Amino acid sequence: MDAAPAAAAPLPAGLQEIADDFTSAGSDLKLELLLEFSDELPGLPERYAGRLDQLERVDECQSPLFLTVEVADGDRLEDRAVSLFFDAPPEAPTTRGFAGILREGLDGLSAAEVLAVPDDAPMRFGLAEAVSPLRLRGMVAMLSRIKRQVRAKTA
Amino acid sequence: MDSTNEIDDAKIRAYAHPERLVTTQWLADRIAAGEVGGPDGIVVLESDEDVLLYATGHIPGALKIDWHVDLNDPVTRDYVDGARFAEVMGARGIGRDTTVVIYGDKSNWWAAYALWVFSLFGHEDVRLLDGGRALWVAEGRELTRDVPTPTPAQYPVAERDDAPIRAFKDDVLAHLGKPLVDVRSPGEFSGELLHMPDYPQEGAMRGGHIPGAVSVPWARAANDDGTFRSREELEALYLGEKGLSPADDVVAYCRIGERSSHTWFVLTHLLGFEAVRNYDGSWTEWGNAVRVPIEK
């Protein structure tokens, strides 16, 4: 694919669908949708339970959030599926909601697809006026750490 | 005096203005007695840093107030005017004489901030829930996702009176040499950090503190469960260790004015200081302003 301007780089289909739901919703509905993502964020699987030291802490989030990435074995980045795991406390629902969006939109995609997600993806959900631009930096930081981990684990 | 104003808790009765603070038990009793939400009843407001937290479950009968959307002017870096404040109050069934109890997350920072804004408009009876949301949850008390529908009330258009409790940058410049309390973390005070630990950068060009400020991180006024320390402990800290006096003219500041609202509340209502102003421009303004002095 030719290098397109960063702002025009497409989102993966699943993430784009979520972005469309958010951008077409009014302010109150945006918060309701975000709450659904927060409620539905799955807990950590047994192998990570109580082992937050094996996850990476995202300091830019206003409440503690931990994440890690697993990448399936394979020869080509296009064939190696990425799995995402998050942990955030219930008293941080906005942070959980951001994690839920990324998990729903990216889990199961290939390493190549995750690495191609534009860095400004968190700004495409029309969330700035509902949750403030400052809080969105937490989601930007989560995405950059996810991509960095995928890069490190496929190097 | 109406029975709803009395509180049977020795710690709270010892404060200079005990009518500004209620316990979780007091609130639970008022809810059980049907005194919350009804006509002429108490109105309970949740004011959080996390905009979604109220929706995940809140104290039964409580309404949400968002400091960003409801209390800040969308264009000017300032609070809403009297007309908008009257709308926000009226929609929540709050009249000028209504008893309002505010609580929130993060040790009541944003609750104290909302209470301070209510005070700019001279709302007479506004109180904090000691321990905030975290204590209510820790005690296993009821939370609900039901959002009440209040009967709208008439709230008068009150003029905001900033001068007694709010300081602007020029006021602080004129105040240099008099007591200033910096309530940020030690690393922010020393200039090593430009934001509080674990928080995103809210950019300032320089790190440090306002010349002459003493460092009293806000958390020193709170117990581990988020409740305020006793009057005796607070006096030992601010009067004893820091040498402040209730007669002093004091300005408190932090990064954007929310943590210093917590300290403003402690000095004004718990210790009875008569002239405390909150500098809400705080370090995000001072650390970026041209030609103002800083100290490291």
Domains and CATH numbers, chain B: 10-139 (3.40.250.10), 169-287 (3.40.250.10)
Predicted local distance difference test score (pLDDT) of residue B6: 65
What is the per-residue pLDDT across A1-26, written as a single tens digit (0 to 9) for each? 445 454 568 999 999 999 999 999 98
- In this prediction the ipTM stands at 0.81
Q: Are A94 and B50 a contacting pair, CB within 8 Å?
A: yes
The alpha carbon of residue A139 is apart from the nearest alpha carbon of chain B, in Å, by: 11
Residues on chain B touching A60 (C-beta within 8 angstroms): 200
Distance CA B114, CA A13 (A): 42
Question: How much is the pLDDT for A29?
Answer: 92
pLDDT > 70: percent of chain B: 94
> Which residue ranges in chain B fall short of pLDDT 70?
1-6, 194-203
The pLDDT, as a whole number, for residue A63 is 76
What is the enclosing helix (H) or strand (E) of B252?
strand B249-253
Q: For residues B68 and B79, what is the distance between their CA atoms, to the nearest angstrom? A: 9
Mean pLDDT of A93-110: 96
Between chains, do B134 and A92 touch, taking CB under 8 Å as contact? no
Cα(B244)–Cα(B31) distance, rounded to whole angstroms? 39
pLDDT given for residue B1 in this prediction: 37
Q: Which residue has the higher pLDDT, A59 or B54?
A: B54
Would you tell me how many other CB atoms lie within 10 Å of the CB of residue B220? 17
pLDDT confidence of residue B37: 87
Nearest Cβ partner for A35 among B55, B105, B133: B55
* pLDDT tens figures, B199-236: 555 567 888 999 999 999 988 999 999 999 999 999 99
Question: Any residues with CB less than 8 A from the CB of A36 and at least 6 apart, and which?
Answer: A100
Q: What residues in A contact B52, CB-CB < 8 Å?
A: 31, 34-35, 38, 93-94, 97, 131
Closest among B49, B121, B113 to B90, alpha carbons compared? B121
Mean pLDDT for chain A overall:
90
* Chain A contact for B200 (CB, 8 A cutoff): yes
Residue A48 near residue A124 (C-beta atoms within 8 A): no
Q: Which residues of chain B from 225 to 254 reach within 8 Å of chain A, CB to CB?
A: none
* Position A51 confidence tier, pLDDT thresholds 50, 70, 90: confident
Residues of B forming the active site: 254
**Residue A76 CB neighbour total at 10 angstroms:** 10
Residue A131 binned pLDDT confidence (cut-offs 50, 70, 90):
confident
pLDDT of residue B173: 98
Q: What pLDDT score was predicted for residue A134?
A: 74
For chain A, percent of residues with pLDDT exceeding 90? 74
- CA B168 to CA B174: how far, in whole Å? 10
- pLDDT of B5 reads 53
Give the model's pLDDT for residue B2.
44
Residue closest to B211 by CA, chosen among B250, B171, B179: B179
Q: Do B187 and B197 touch, CB atoms closer than 8 A?
A: yes
Q: Which residues contact B173 (CB under 8 A, 6 or more apart)?
A: B292
Contacts of A131 in chain B (CB under 8 A): 51-52
Please answer whether residues B97 and B249 qualify as being in contact, where contact means their C-beta atoms are separated by less than 8 angstroms.
no
Instruction: For residue B249, give the 3-state DSSP assignment.
Output: strand
